[in-house]
Amino acid sequence: MAVDDDVEKTFSGAVNMTAPELEKWLATDESQSVGAGEPGSESTGHESGRRIAEILRKKKNDLDADDQDQMQRTVSYVHRHLAQRPSKESIEDSRWRYSLMNWGHDPLK
């Protein structure tokens, strides 16, 4: 199954980190300090970040329906979260930025 061109285009626009950048970020304490999930387990965003890195490493023809679903979830999350940008605080060390980065988008890039 080939991934829909529109999905690929919007995913590429939403994810502005490379697979190596994302994997390096996911290994940090800051990355693991944010996100929703069961206490003591991996957050949803962190798990999604690992999947996004896998997708970024694949060739387009190797992407499947599960990858496309994750790509669509990623676009939805990034667009929704960007709309919630904090107005007064510095975003560089904010939980808001860290959460977005778990999903492959660094708002400072």
10-63 per-position pLDDT tens digit: 999 999 999 999 999 999 989 988 877 776 777 888 899 999 999 999 998 899
Beta-carbon count within 10 A of 14 CB: 20
Q: What is the pLDDT, as a whole number, of residue 42?
A: 78
> Do 101 and 21 form a contact (C-beta atoms < 8 A)?
no
pTM (2 decimals)? 0.91
In the structure, what pLDDT confidence band is assigned to residue 82 with cuts at 50, 70 and 90?
Answer: very high
The answer, yes or no, to whether residue 77 has pLDDT greater than 90, is: yes
